[in-house]
Amino acid sequence: MNHRKANVRTGNLDWKGLGYLVSIVSVLLLGAIAWPTPDEPRWHMPVLIGGMATSILGMAFRYKAHLNEQRELKQIEEEEDELARR
C-alpha cells in the first residue's frame, strides 16, 4: 500500500484544504488593507475585487480537483481490496 492510499483511508487532516483556507483568509486580509480610498481612481475597487474573487475561485477549483483525486484514489483502493479478496 502506498502512502497516498494510507492518507485517504486513515482520514488524516486535509492539509491541502487547510492551506487553501489559510490562503483565502490571506487574500481577504490583503484586500482589506489594499481597499481603495475615496481619492483613488474609481477603477481600483472593481479590479481589486476581481483579483480577490479570481484568486479565491482558483483555490476553490484546485481544492475541488484535490477532492476528486482523493475520491478516485479511494475508489481504486476499494477495487484493489475487492480483487485481493477474490
5-49: pLDDT as tens digits: 545 445 688 899 999 999 999 999 999 999 999 999 999 999 999
**Mean local confidence (pLDDT), 42-66:** 97
- What's phi and psi for 74, nearest 5 deg? -65, -40
Q: How many whole angstroms separate alpha carbon 27 and alpha carbon 84?
A: 47
- The residue type at 68: N
Three-class HEC string of the chain: CCHHHHHHHHCCCCHHHHHHHHHHHHHHHHHHHHCCCCCCCCCHHHHHHHHHHHHHHHHHHHHHHHHHHHHHHHHHHHHHHHHHHC
- Block residue for cell numbers 489559510: 22
Higher pLDDT, 5 or 61: 61
pTM: predicted TM-score of the whole model, two decimal places? 0.74
Question: Domain limits of the chain?
Answer: 14-76
